[in-house]
Structure 1
Amino acid sequence: MNYIGNKLKALRQELGLTQTEMAAGVISVSFYSKVERGLNDIGVNDFLEILQKHNVKPQKFFKSFKSEQYDQKKINTLINKFVKAANEDNDKEIKVVVQEFESIEPKTSFIKSQTLLAQMIATTHDHNALKSLTENEKRKIKKIIFQKDTDENEYLRLAIIANTIRVYSFDEASFLISNIIRRYKNVNKIDRKILSALSALMVNYTNWCIEKKQFGNCSAPLKYLRKLPATVELAFSKIIGQYYEDILNDKKNEAEKIKYMLIKAGYQTIVNKIVSGK
């Protein structure tokens, strides 16, 4: 059983630290990462030095940080619920989840960071709201997006990028999308939740490309959407992707049929936000 690794990870999350910050120069980040996953055993002296760096006494360490401070299962449920609401532009549900985050006690570092992320998406997932952000506010959002460790926050990070892609300049976003497509090119080996976040990201970026009449940039994300498996979770994104393809190929009647179907299914809010033509 990976007792020490799991407890170190729980402590790190409680302190709101990245793996780099947690390792504190005592051991390498790659070695520390393997300790958390149970692949490496940490020496007693290194272990005690890491605790000392973070002002944590060994006696306190061996108490259950997670069970004492918050219900992790509840947090994960809220995160998943929130990401789904944001992807669907369900403003009413977004507000409800943000309120649930804000009501959690005690306000640990981890809870504060998750509440901040929820509030951030709530105020920026609509690109009209993004236009009112200052450059300093945009920089803060970018920092938040990449402050957590990739191995444990992959899904959440991609979901945040999908909903706040316009905090970047168009060129920055295009570069980011290219890297993400390259990194996640083998779609058959990707977790279903991550695929869902990726599909939302491709949809939102393509919509932006068409708005800016950067039609050449639409090819890669639409090709990626076509590659995704035909699952229920990805159906909505693939339908929107087909709508964009019809728009780009001047198949106006086909595009209008898709819009009509979405409106009939209750997605008027989303239809209002997607581009209506080239």
Structure 2
Amino acid sequence: MTIGELLKDYRISQKKTQKQWAKDVISPSFYAKVEKNLSRISAEDLIELLHSNQIPVIDFFSKLNQKDKSINQQELEINRLINEAYYQNSKKELQQIRDVVAEGELPNKNDELLLIDAYIAVISKDLTMLDKEVIDRMKEKVFNISNFDEDGLIMYCNFMSFYDLNSNLLLSKRIIKQLVGSSSVRIQEKILAIIINMLIFCIRNKRFEETEEFVNYADQIKTKPEVFFYKLLIPAFYNIVKYQDNHEQKYLDETEIIIKSIKLAGMPDYGKELEELLVANK
């Protein structure tokens, strides 16, 4: 049983129409697609939908776990919700999901709890929330992946801050060499995200000589709508590097234009981070 199917069961049991059930959380048309498994609901919207219909989150997932015959499917759904909550930067939702997992009976429950605790620490920008043993286990978990798929890429990309620069240089180059030629747009997005993180790490550590290889990898990925934002960022970071060589004002000017474009596109946090990096390396 999928999340959409279980939502439908709850809705019918409360004798509500899809419009009454969706309320103002999501549109009735989108909700209809969720019930039919044609669209995926975000963790934020799912939890809000459950709350608005007086359904305890723990009860919902407990029932999902009981009815779903596939343990693997349960874990996939939980991991999707974890990732959604992380990208929404919501510690509250992650804690709610943690409560669900802690009450459940997934065979890999301890690994899931470890993952959620790590995400909460990253969002809080406070790795001291985690024991050294926990950080080491997460680092080992990623480092021991021999063939990275999309889930492995997401995990590494999100936890790159756990590693020192030299470890990241070793691991990121191994991953990129393995997957840079992938035709999957989703894989390309994750590779470009890793490249951008590495450019940031190298610039912050004044290891400018390490950046060219990553820029060359990025150039191997063709620009298309799905990866346009990532491709837009690459020249901004590389201009900061090139400015270190000859201090030509044009590199700063080009980066400032990109920063303005990012802010105008409604992503001020990205623009601010890039601006701070630019100011620190003028």
Give the TM interval when normalised to the shorter protein.
Answer: 0.5 to 0.7
Offset at residue 116 of structure 1 (A): 2.5
Is the Cα contact below 8 Å between 1:159 and 1:201 reproduced in 2? no
Q: RMSD of the TM alignment (CA)?
A: 3.2
Partner of 1:67: 68
Distance (whole Å) between structure 1 residues aligned to residue 218 and residue 67 of structure 2: 38
1:102 touches 1:115 (CA, 8 Å); kept in 2? no
| 1:163 and 2:158 are equivalent in the alignment | yes
- In structure 2, the CA distance between the partners of 1:195 and 1:81, relative to structure 1 (3 Å rule), is farther
Structure 2: 5+ residue runs without aligned partners?
1-65, 244-250
Q: Which runs of 5+ in 1 are unaligned?
A: 1-64
Q: TM-score, normalised by structure 2?
A: 0.61
- Structure-2 residue corresponding to 1:138: 135
Structure with greater contact order relative to length (CA < 8 Å, sep ≥ 6): 1
Partners of 2:228 and 2:199 lie apart in 1 by 17
Give deviations 1:119-153, integer Å, cap 9, x for gaps. Answer: 31231257x53477665443122123256x656x7
Count of residues in correspondence between the two structures: 206
Query: Aligned to 2:194, which of 174, 177, 201?
Result: 201
Please state whether the residue corresponding to 2:226 is helix, strand or coil: coil
1:248 aligns with 2:241: yes
| CA drift at 1:170 | 1.3
**Structure 1 residues 135 and 98 mapped into 2: Cα distance closer, same or farther (>3 Å)?**
closer
Q: Give the structure-1-normalised TM-score.
A: 0.62
Identical-residue share of aligned pairs (%):
17
> Structure 1 residues 114, 133: closer, same or farther in 2, change over 3 A?
closer
Distance 2:193 2:93 in 1: 21
2-structure distance, mates of 1:85, 1:229: 30
Q: What's the counterpart of residue 96 of structure 2?
A: 99
Question: C-alpha displacement at 1:85, in angstroms?
Answer: 6.0
Deviations 1:133-187 (A, max 9, x none): 665443122123256x656x72222112112212222111111122122222423
Shift of 1:211: 0.6
Give the letter for the 1:156 counterpart: D
| Distance in 2, Cα, partners of 1:150 & 1:235 | 29
1:109 is paired with a residue whose SS is coil
Whichever residue aligns with residue 186 of structure 2, its letter is K
> C-alpha separation between the residues in 2 aligned to 1:229 and 1:154?
20
Deviation, structure 1 residue 215:
0.7
Q: Report what 2:205 is aligned to.
A: 212
Contact map agreement 2:117 2:130 (CA 8 A) in 1: no
Shift of the 257–222 alpha-carbon distance from structure 1 to 2, 3 Å rule, reads same
Matched, 1:121 2:123: no
